Every structure is written in C-alpha cells, then in structure tokens.
Amino acid sequence: MIRMLIGRGQPLVALAMRMTLARYLLASVCALSSDFAAFLMLGHLGAPPMLAACGGYALGLVVHWIVSVRFVFDTGAGASHAQRIGFVMSALVGMGLTMACVGALSAAGVTPALAKLLSVPVSFFTVYAIRKYGIFARA
C-alpha cells in the first residue's frame, strides 16, 4: 500500500494536504475556543463588539501559533524569524476581516456573538491559504 502511494506520488500529496488541513482545523478550533471565550468575557465587561473581537482574536493568535508550529506545520528545525513575522502579519489580515465583519454585522443589527461566528469562515479560509501557501509553504 505504501509503495503504491509513494510510487504514484499524487495520492500521497493529496493525503498530506488533507492531513495538514485537518490539523489546521483542530488548531483553529483550539484557538477559536480561546478567542470566543475572551470575546464573550470582554463583551460582558462592556467592551464594544469590535474591541472585544480584537482582544479575542489576539488571544486566539497566541494559542494558534503555539499549536501550529508544534502540530500543524512541521518546520523541522523550528519556526524561522520570517515565519513568525508572516504568521503575525497573516493574523492581522484575519483580525481585520474579523473586526470588519463583526462591526458591519453588529451595525446591521446582528447580535455580536452571531456576528463573530459568521466572521469565522471568512477569516479561517483566508488565513489558512496565506499560511499554507505562503508562510509555511516549504514546511
């Protein structure tokens, strides 16, 4: 079986890509849990929805970094300085998308928690693509 996968190449590449996406999804669930808990806490403390989204996203970023470099994108020798910077930059893109979605949807009358949930797929797929095909492309 392994010989068939290695010999053909394509199935092995497809399997590796699916596994990376699955690991990234698990890392994202961990990060989103932290993010959403902080978002709800900040909202409960009276922070405006966009500020709460920013604070939650920042905490989720830290969790995502820790899980990503250890579990998702195997860099072998550890993450490089450029990858750290790229990770933060991609997170800023995701944070901007999240804040824009939460702000716009909240202004349109959607509850902040639902607005935050609706922003997740937009941010998730955008940031995953940046990290997978840019930052950690060689990992």
Distances (CA, A) of 96 to 22, 25, 91, 119: 24, 20, 8, 11
HSE value, Cβ hemisphere, 13 Å, CA-based, for 52? 21
Q: Look up residue 100 and give its two tokens.
A: 């824009």
pLDDT at 22 > cutoff 70: yes
Where do the domains of the chain lie?
A: 24-135
* DSSP state, residue 111: -
Per-residue pLDDT tens over the stretch 117-127: 999 899 888 98
pTM, whole model, 2 decimals? 0.66
